[in-house]
Structure 1
Amino acid sequence: MKKRGLVAALATPLALFTASLIASEKLYNFAFKRVDYVPETSADKQKYADAYWAYVKWLKQQPVQDWTLNPDDQANRLVAKYVPAKAASHRTVIISHGYKGDGETMANYAYMFHNMGYNVLLPDDRGHGKSAGKYISFGWQDRRDYLEWINQVIKQNGPQTEIVLFGVSMGGATVEMMSGEDLPAQVKAIIADCGYTSIEEELAYLLKEQFHLPKYPFVPIVSFINRHRMGYFLSDVSSVEQLRHNKLPIFFIHGEKDIYVPSWMLKKNYRAAKGPKMMWQVPNATHAESFWIDPAAYEKHVSAFLSRYLPKL
């Protein structure tokens, strides 16, 4: 082969590799880098806007307490809003928000649990809201932060307190990932609404469905970038693996028409979960829409699940 031909032969794969690196870096920044605002909701959920803002208004009218973890460490400072129950209660729900949201975006769920007699803790995850963090960990680092929030609740409310973990979308995956940790005895149940199986599977699925791109080489390169930035590969971030170690009662909720976190992920998570478990696939609901379609029915299902494992207040 002549020298010019050899150079051309080498240049083509090198150019493709370079282009893949550049595209993967852009993808990583798009998906993992924090944003300091809450993006507008999808068009199909705009019809719930008035109801959503009414819940936010309610939250802002409550006697909210500001809680903090690692207050003197700016790189790891985390914040949460705590809403005491209407009457003194030994039960607290810790609510985990969705991707690029914050605690305030979960005001509707806070309202529901408040009406059920619970204290409510609404953390802002790393890389979200008023908490520190350059990047979004999709529940993996958050699961350890939530262990600290659990300890904070126990410290504030006493060892007799009973805790429920609840999350939606990324928050659903976060509480699923928490299920495999060594949780204190005060944690009594978990409710996960539309959580994904793993960030690797979720990213590969969205690449294909939304951008018509293959898993390879982009997901492995993004995983390598994350290992360098955050200290772990995407293959480490798995709800399925954590659920295999679960011992607590867990309730899975998922929209039947969810095309963002597809229903096969619900079934895979459900099959993996150990311990007592229930599943409710909500007809006609898209991603994270199950509550909004019928708030009363949603509360009824949640109450029915909890009443099986926690005696009535």
Structure 2
Amino acid sequence: METNSSSSYSSVPINPTTVETAVRRTFVRRHKGLLIGLLSVLLLLFSLLMAFHAYIAWTLARPHIDPLRSNPALSIGTAYEDITFPSLNGSSTLSGWYIPSEMESANSRKTVVFSHGYGGNREEIWVPIYDLAKAAHKMGFNVVMFDYGYVQPDWNVTGGLRESQELLGAVQYAKDRGADRVYVWGFSMGAGTALQAALLTKDIDGMILDSTFVLEPETLYHNMKQVANLPKFSQGLVHMFFPLLNGVSLNQVPYQTVKETKYDIPIFFIHGKEDLKAPWNMVESIYQLQKDQSGSQLWLLEKDGHELIYRAHKKTYLQMTTGFLQTLSTGSPEVVKHGQSR
């Protein structure tokens, strides 16, 4: 018996579009995880980049501050008073020491207010301020040593904005205690703060400014570069995060005004050319703006660093600074401001 068997295979035409779609879906399925992983890595890197710059902005405004180690009686053998006073605008309350003059002299109604730098307190041990306070006291001056508000745990640095009001509060305190002239002796950001404060008052009769630091974009980037080799865009990111985390914008700091002002009081600028925190050429340019008859001076040293000049040149430093103070104190306020003495 013959069996007739026939093949019943049917041919189905292949649709190129269907094949292309299937291939694309297979590619997407196979690489979907890779794409998600890549995007996750990029997002993580972006988040870390933002967090890193936010951390810089946060820590810049909250430097570590050592506790007080001593007091004027123990360190330099002078009587002193614990004092508190408000900033000029009442936004903060400051603590400090008042060292009254112990002699009846031409300087007993004159006060030196010390303005400490970033990361320090009223003692500024690495200078140290105690030695300079002793020198001013021996000349017969009253002395004010105080802590800026950011020394307190709940406050942060504002680049001189709140600090200038706090310095003016110290100046007002000296005036309330009977001072007819007040001289500010500032260091680093405390010196830059003094320049800001002098824009706002006529109650400062002269200043000694050591290693002046003025917070501006280029100076900020200059300091960031000392910590890590950061790209230029880091400067902008830190500026962006600073007001978000610290409540004040660095753009509010009047650094341009400070750099362009011709002050009508004598200023003694002291700076080292190897200062890695505060570029010396900014200080030189500010000094060059001062009027010839203002009595301002510049002591620029070739091989000295930030706030280290006194330690390296104690005798000369004291001779020049006390000589400057003596020149200020021996003339009338009006005469001294024009660089003359009686």
* TM-score after normalising by structure 1: 0.80
Matched residue type, 2:206? A
Q: 1:108 to 1:199 in 2, by over 3 A?
A: farther
Shift, 1:163, TM fit: 0.5
Please list the CA deviations of residues 240-279 of structure 1 after superposition, one character each: whole Å capped at 9, or x if unmatched: 5225343211111002322232322322332455654211
Which of residues 306, 314, 334 in structure 2 aligns to 1:287?
306
Q: Which moved more, 1:138-147 or 1:118-127?
A: 138-147
Q: Which residue of 1 aligns with 2:158?
A: 137
Query: Is 1:267 aligned to residue 284 of structure 2?
Result: yes
CA distance in 2, matches of 1:273, 1:14: 51
Query: Is 1:311 aligned to residue 330 of structure 2?
Result: yes
Q: Kindly indicate whether the alpha-carbon contact (under 8 Å) linking 2:92 and 2:166 is maintained by their aligned counterparts in 1.
A: no
Which of residues 185, 190, 197 in structure 2 aligns to 1:178?
197
Q: Which residue of 2 aligns with 1:149?
A: 170
Q: Kindly indicate whether the alpha-carbon contact (under 8 Å) linking 2:159 and 2:215 is maintained by their aligned counterparts in 1.
A: no
Q: Kindly indicate whether the alpha-carbon contact (under 8 Å) linking 1:176 and 1:195 is maintained by their aligned counterparts in 2.
A: no
Q: Which residue of 2 aligns with 1:47?
A: none
Q: Which residue of 1 aligns with 2:115?
A: 96
Matched residue type, 2:248? Y
Matched residue type, 1:222? V
Q: Which residue of 2 aligns with 1:256?
A: 273
Matched residue type, 2:168? L
Please list the CA deviations of residues 166-221 of structure 1 after superposition, one character each: whole Å capped at 9, or x if unmatched: 1111212111222222332xx210111111232432220022233111231x3323
Shift, 1:10, TM fit: 6.5
Q: For structure 2, list consecutive stretches of 5 or more residues without a partner in the other structure.
A: 1-27, 333-342
CA distance in 1, matches of 2:157, 2:248: 13
Q: Which residue of 2 aligns with 1:44?
A: none
Q: Which residue of 2 aligns with 1:65?
A: 81
CA distance in 2, matches of 1:312, 1:196: 29
Q: Kindly indicate whether the alpha-carbon contact (under 8 Å) linking 1:56 and 1:104 is maintained by their aligned counterparts in 2.
A: no
Q: Which residue of 1 aligns with 2:13?
A: none
Structure label with greater radius of gyration? 2
CA distance in 1, matches of 2:240, 2:278: 23
CA distance in 2, matches of 1:147, 1:117: 22
Query: Is 1:210 aligned to residue 227 of structure 2?
Result: yes
CA RMSD after TM alignment: 3.3
Q: Kindly indicate whether the alpha-carbon contact (under 8 Å) linking 2:213 and 2:277 is maintained by their aligned counterparts in 1.
A: no
Q: Which residue of 1 aligns with 2:49?
A: 20
CA distance in 2, matches of 1:111, 1:285: 24
Q: Which residue of 2 aligns with 1:121?
A: 144
CA distance in 1, matches of 2:145, 2:71: 17
Equivalent pairs counted in the alignment come to 291
Q: Kindly indicate whether the alpha-carbon contact (under 8 Å) linking 1:99 and 1:169 is maintained by their aligned counterparts in 2.
A: yes
Question: Which structure 2 residues correspond to residues 192-211 of structure 1 after superposition, within 5 A?
Answer: 192-211=209-228
Matched residue type, 1:197? V
Q: 1:297 to 1:305 in 2, by over 3 A?
A: same
Q: Kindly indicate whether the alpha-carbon contact (under 8 Å) linking 1:56 and 1:107 is maintained by their aligned counterparts in 2.
A: no
Query: Is 1:37 aligned to residue 53 of structure 2?
Result: no
Q: Which residue of 2 aligns with 1:226?
A: 242
Which of residues 90, 93, 103 in structure 2 aligns to 1:77?
93
Q: SS in structure 2 opposite 1:196?
A: coil
Q: Which residue of 2 aligns with 1:189?
A: 206
CA distance in 2, matches of 1:271, 1:7: 59
CA distance in 2, matches of 1:53, 1:18: 44
Q: Which moved more, 1:264-273 or 1:189-198?
A: 264-273
Q: For structure 1, list consecutive stretches of 5 or more residues without a partner in the other structure.
A: 40-51
Q: 1:169 to 1:126 in 2, by over 3 A?
A: same
CA distance in 2, matches of 1:62, 1:104: 14
Q: Kindly indicate whether the alpha-carbon contact (under 8 Å) linking 2:58 and 2:246 is maintained by their aligned counterparts in 1.
A: no
Q: SS in structure 2 opposite 1:103?
A: coil
Shift, 1:139, TM fit: 2.5
Please list the CA deviations of residues 112-153 of structure 1 after superposition, one character each: whole Å capped at 9, or x if unmatched: 21122211101101111xx46431223331111111111111
Q: SS in structure 2 opposite 1:104?
A: coil
Identity across the alignment (%)? 21
Q: Which residue of 2 aligns with 1:45?
A: none
Q: 1:36 to 1:306 in 2, by over 3 A?
A: closer
